[in-house]
Amino acid sequence: MDKFAALVLVILLLPLAGAVLISFAGPYLPRVAAAVIANGTLLVAFLMTGIVALTGWQATSSGQTIPQHFAYGTWALIPPLKISFGLLIDPLALTWMLIITGVGFLIHLYSVGYMASDRNYRTFFAYMNLFVFTMLLLVMSDNFLWLLVGWGGVGLASYLLIGFYYDRVSAVLAARKALIMNVIGDVGIMIAIFLIYAHLGSAAYSDVFARVASVGAPALTAIGLWLLLGAVAKSAQLPLHTWLPDAMEGPTPVSALIHAATMVTAGVYLIARCYPIYDHAPVAAEVVAVVGATSALFAATIGCVQYDIKRVLAYSTMSQIGYMMFAVGAGAYTAGAFHFLTHAFFKALLFMAAGIVIQNLGGEQDIRKMGGLAGKMPLAFWTFLIGTVAIAGVPPFAGFFSKDAVIDAAIALHHPVLGAFLIIAAFLTAFYMFRLLFLTFFSGAYRGDGAPHDHPMVSMNVPVVVLAILATVGGFLAAPLGAALRLTFVGALHDQDIATINWPVAAGAFLLVVAGIATAYALYQVRPQLRESLIRALAGPRQLVMNAYYLDTVYHWLVEVPAYAIADAAAGFFETFIIRAIPLAASATAAALGGFARAWESGQLRRYGLTIAVGVVLLLAWYVITAYAAASQGVLPQ
Amino acid sequence: MMIDLVIFLPAIAAIALLCIPRDAQRALRGVALIGALATFVLSLGFITGGFGNEFDQRIPWISGTWTAAYHVHVGGLSVYFVLLTTLVSVAAIWGAFSYSDAGKLRGFLALLLLFETTLLGLFTAADLLLFYVYWDLMLIPVFLLLVGYSGSAEARSAAWSYLLYNGAGGLVLLLGVVGVVLHTGTFEVLGQTYSFGTLENWLFAAFALAFLIKTPSFPFHAWMPPTYTNSPPPLVAMVSGVQSKAGLFGFLVFALPLFPVAAHTWAPVLLVLAVASIVYGAFAALGQRDMKTLVAFSSLSHLGLVVLALFAFDLTSVPGSIVMIVSHGLISAALFLLLGFVEERTGSREIGAFGGLAAHAPRLQALMLVAAMAALGLPGLSGFAGEFLILIGAWQTQPVYTAISLIAIVVASAYVLKMFQAAMHGPESVPGGRTYGDLRAREIWILAPLIAGIFLFGIWPGVLLPGGGSLTGATPAHTVALHGQRPHA
């Protein structure tokens, strides 16, 4: 193993080592030590990832090629099946790795303060480190099997952290829902792998992507659609998104890291990673784009009427991932990755600023019980404001550039209807984010109980400020990111330029953003009466949207109720009346056969021998079965 | 000699136990545990040179019109079953230390050890007569343990249900064995190929029925829920962890190589039963309220996958089924022992009757989490490795059946979480107040090897199949039956 191969393996295993160490030391480890281990492993992993990225960057700038692919061993070899363990460290993987370790470190740091008074402080950091490890595995793997291992692993970490407050029934149920829906996605990926193996004979990316051109479109379409099932489950896209709002039951740093910045973008990563498949499967790619754009608009409408600060952010996450999903579906892979990058900055920022507010209000999350907090929590306010303008798409903040890149792609790649969805969603995003901002920090005086207090904690404030800076200037990463990702998306069907801004489109989108902000300002700052009359006039549709279009109810009746009905029927009726009746039915058959055997006389000695053997066995069987029948009624001697 | 020692060491330990006074608890425990541990350590000798070793011993037994031999063999296929038996037996016998009735501990331990010997005898048998003898001998210790050592009327009823259903299976197997021997004139049929003609279909059916009852497979599982539910945890760990593999072993070692043509003829039926077991078992598990019964049905579901693997006749799925067999043995033994620990602490295993154990038993929660996630098929743990290798192989030859089976994976996530969360999470509540503590050191060490195996074979299933799944020791007939080519009738 050469130096580079060892280095990337260490990046992967450091967070795992932290998790294992904290778990095994348990209560013997001082709380501070747990925090130091968790933060330290991530910081080192981030710095090492930075070194790898810079080395690669320098090498390619000077025209050299550096190794990207590292093989370590064989998972299983059952010829013709061979599955290895290897890592692929290309610009796409590095983009995700930098965010996972970098933003991951900032959120770990924030957690030191946010979770300070929690009883299960060490467990929290162990789970968070486990998450980072599995997420790194997901993006670093060089084949589909280990991608799936990471994929399942992040599902487990997400489950554990959603259900972190495990004495709360709502958290337990939310965690269960998230894991079950994610397992549906896992099955999608499993089927995709089975099909990939059947048609392309391997599970390694390099083999699969090299052979894509030799396979017909129908097979690739099927593969693309099954992969998409995994992607929508993990990335909370239609129709498997209903777990994400409930996932807000987890501690706020979890929402920031897993359910905003990193894990939920795994679906985007997957599609971008499989770009050779989607480039050759236009139908599947189109479905991805449709799912993305529809989810973007769908979630944006729900975001407009929610009152829980974290649920608004959750729907906005779903909506923003919709943008990314559309981009990778339309073939603008780099634009999708770019929006992932900026979104990680501003969405983590928004959650963390919201976390400060929630903590200072003693756990209050209902924005109807907030208001007028701008002066009381200046740091939370200013950073939340930066996050809000960044997500809304106000120049020169980060979201402006990346969202523009996605909308440009919609126009350049001829998706007029989906592009319109995205533009409407941009308007709604500006509206609901400023609605949230106004209701939380302005709109009159504080409406909650008790007095809000501001407890500044360095460990929480520092990462928030760092992210605020990144959310401000992150848009200028377009040029280097675009140049780097060109090395991954070699031979992609469409142009991958993200650095050029299409100014007429950008200006038009910006006007809509201004309109969205103005609407929010009018309804929540200037004219509350107008808002009240609007709410009355639109009571019906509002009810529909507030309940997230009743999809939870639909799934309850369409999936959950029938599944449990089948389960109860199997466990009850079927077991009692069919399964237990089989031995009884067998006894009747045996009796009939016994009658046949008696009539079976022909004078042949061999046949007699066989008849005797059969007869003995059947007699025994008859006795056994009748005794069994009696025993099952409980009348046998005991 | 080595093989005999491994087979009979537990029995010797059992006899030694009977020479120790009933109330010498420490001595009883020590002898039983040392016996099981020594057996395990000795059995490791089978893999000192890797998985490819062959151990063989043959002593002529019966000659004349029909010949039989005392022929025992440990090789390519059987070594997995032998090692699984010796490993799970250590955990079970150590787990039996907490058996509540001190006066009966001696008999309890002795019967568990005798059970281990019958299992080892079965898995090493290379002669059909020997195989059949152990097949029926296995019933006795389980029956006695259920009747005499569970203390409930349901357990006694379950014992009869177990004995009679499996006894009926044994009779059907006897019919098949008699048929084979009438044709071949010998019980030493391993490694030979015969042409049974039209009789082959009937013989295979007899073997298959017996094996499906033992595994069990849908719809022959009526004996399983009461047996598993009412067995003391160490017993059910051995029955579910090891004995349930007896039928699968029978398929792999006897039925498939002896009757390759009939195996293909009957494959559609077996595939349907396999898929029915997989899906029905999963839904039936979801419908349970008793955690032990829930795990019992999950066992039905998971072992259905092995039957699917065997009768998909694929190059990958059959070796994959070995991973699944080993993995299921570890997972189900761990789960049943854990449920025993839970029941010792709460006095219940009813979903909803207690909850929130995580608050004061974090280690119990952690180990339960690993076992539960492995049962759920979490990628990275052994349950997934087995499932994945089976399904990716089976998909190549039987995509429709495989696709239907995948439903069970989603249902598994629902029933596993139903059980795990009901026990561990939610507000802490235990009937009669909390008197329990976290897992003790002994309990952790009992589970440690099982949990370690769950991790190891999940991260690296290849360690089980170093020969690339060629399953050294498989006969030419095996190769034909296992490796997908339809033999010419």
Q: What would the pLDDT profile of A388-415 be if each residue is shown by its tens digit?
A: 999 998 988 999 999 989 998 888 888 8
**Cβ-defined contact of B225 to A575 (cutoff 8 Å):** yes
Strands B55-62 and A81-88: unpaired
Contacts A574 to B, Cβ<8 Å: 280, 284
Mean pLDDT of chain A: 88
Q: Is A141 helix (H, G, I), strand (E, B) or coil?
A: strand
Q: Which of B297, B380, B468 sits opposite A77 (nearest CB)?
A: B468
Do the beta carbons of residue B184 and residue B192 sit within 8 Å? yes
**pLDDT computed for residue B489 by the predictor:** 30
**Cβ-defined contact of B164 to A627 (cutoff 8 Å):** yes
Q: Is residue A426 pLDDT above 60, yes or no?
A: yes
Do the beta carbons of residue B239 and residue B231 sit within 8 Å? yes
Contacts A79 to B, Cβ<8 Å: 315, 468-469
**Cβ-defined contact of B174 to A75 (cutoff 8 Å):** no
* Cα distance between residue A481 and residue A502, in whole Å: 18
Question: Could you tell me the two tokens for B455?
Answer: 């991790």
> Quick check: is B159 in a domain?
no
Q: Which of B284, B376, B379 sits opposite A571 (nearest CB)?
A: B284
Q: Given its phi and psi angles, is residue A331 left (phi above 0), alpha (psi -120 to 50 degrees) or beta?
A: left
**Cβ-defined contact of A575 to B284 (cutoff 8 Å):** yes
**pLDDT computed for residue B130 by the predictor:** 92
Q: Where do we find the tokens 């099982």? A: B450
Q: Given its phi and psi angles, is residue B24 left (phi above 0), alpha (psi -120 to 50 degrees) or beta?
A: beta
Q: Is A295 helix (H, G, I), strand (E, B) or coil?
A: helix
> Quick check: is B193 in a domain?
no
> Quick check: is B383 in a domain?
yes
The amino acid present at A228, given as its one-letter code, is L
B71 — phi, psi (to 5°)? -120, 110
DSSP letters spanning B286-343: HT-SBHHHHHHHHHHHHHHHHHHHHHHT-TTHHHHHHHHHHHHHHHHHHHHHHHHHHH
Strands A69-78 and B55-62: unpaired
Q: Is B55 helix (H, G, I), strand (E, B) or coil?
A: strand
Q: Which of B157, B287, B376 sits opposite A567 (nearest CB)?
A: B287
**Cβ-defined contact of A79 to B469 (cutoff 8 Å):** yes
B455 — phi, psi (to 5°)? -70, -50
Mean pLDDT of A80-105: 92
Q: Is residue A479 pLDDT above 90, yes or no?
A: no
Contacts B483 to A, Cβ<8 Å: none
**Beta partners for residue A220, in sequence order:** none
Q: Which of A139-143, A342-346, A417-421, A428-432 has the lowest mean pLDDT?
A: A417-421
Mean pLDDT of A275-286: 93
Mean pLDDT of A537-566: 89
* Predicted confidence band of residue A68 (pLDDT cuts 50, 70, 90): confident
**pLDDT computed for residue A601 by the predictor:** 52
Q: Which of A155, A186, A631 sits opposite B157 (nearest CB)?
A: A631
Q: Which of A152, A194, A620 sits opposite B392 (nearest CB)?
A: A194
Mean pLDDT of A9-16: 94
Do the beta carbons of residue A300 and residue A356 sit within 8 Å? no
**pLDDT computed for residue A449 by the predictor:** 80
Percent of all residues in chain A with a pLDDT value above 90, rounded to a whole number: 53
Looking at chain B, which residue has its C-alpha nearest residue A184? B410
Contacts B301 to A, Cβ<8 Å: none
Contacts of A345 (CB under 8 A, 6+ apart): A103, A390, A398, A467, A470, A471, A474
> Quick check: is B333 in a domain?
yes
> Quick check: is B50 in a domain?
no
* Cα distance between residue A462 and residue A356, in whole Å: 12
**pLDDT computed for residue A74 by the predictor:** 87
**Cβ-defined contact of B417 to A617 (cutoff 8 Å):** no
Q: Is B249 helix (H, G, I), strand (E, B) or coil?
A: helix
- Tell me how crowded residue B307 is: count the other CB atoms within 10 A of its CB: 26
> Quick check: is B200 in a domain?
no
Question: Residues in chain B with pLDDT < 50?
Answer: 472-489
Q: Is B72 helix (H, G, I), strand (E, B) or coil?
A: strand
Contacts A636 to B, Cβ<8 Å: 157, 160
For residue A144, the number of C-alpha atoms closer than 13 Å in the C-beta half-sphere is: 30
Q: Where do we find the tokens 């006074």? A: B21
**pLDDT computed for residue B473 by the predictor:** 41
CA of B458 vs chain A CAs: smallest distance (Å): 9
Do the beta carbons of residue A339 and residue A327 sit within 8 Å? yes
Contacts B320 to A, Cβ<8 Å: 78
As for how many domains chain B has, the answer is: 1
**Cβ-defined contact of A632 to B393 (cutoff 8 Å):** no
CA of B5 vs chain A CAs: smallest distance (Å): 33
Helix axes B382-397, B399-424, angle to 10 degrees: 160
> Quick check: is B223 in a domain?
no
CA of B396 vs chain A CAs: smallest distance (Å): 6
* Cα distance between residue A338 and residue B465, in whole Å: 43
What is the distance in angstroms between the CA of the first residue and the CA of the last residue of chain B? 39
Contacts A119 to B, Cβ<8 Å: none
Helix (H) or strand (E) holding B364: helix B362-376
> Which own/partner pairs from B174-183 qualify as long-range (CB within 8 Å, at least 24 positions apart)?
B174/A617, B174/B132, B175/A613, B175/A614, B175/A617, B175/B206, B176/B203, B176/B204, B176/B205, B176/B206, B176/B207, B176/B210, B177/B128, B177/B129, B177/B132, B178/A613, B179/B203, B179/B206, B180/B128, B180/B258, B181/B66, B181/B128, B182/A609, B182/A610
Contacts A593 to B, Cβ<8 Å: none
User: To 10 degrees, the CA torsion angle through A580, A581, A587, A588?
Assistant: 180
CA of A88 vs chain B CAs: smallest distance (Å): 19
CA of A102 vs chain B CAs: smallest distance (Å): 25
Mean pLDDT of A211-216: 89
**pLDDT computed for residue A610 by the predictor:** 66
Q: Which domain holds residue B282?
A: 262-472
Pick from A119, A439, A415, A421: nearest CA to A293: A421
Q: Is residue A548 pLDDT above 90, yes or no?
A: no
Instruction: Report in angstroms the alpha-carbon separations of A220 from A185, A413, A547, B2.
Output: 18, 21, 37, 54
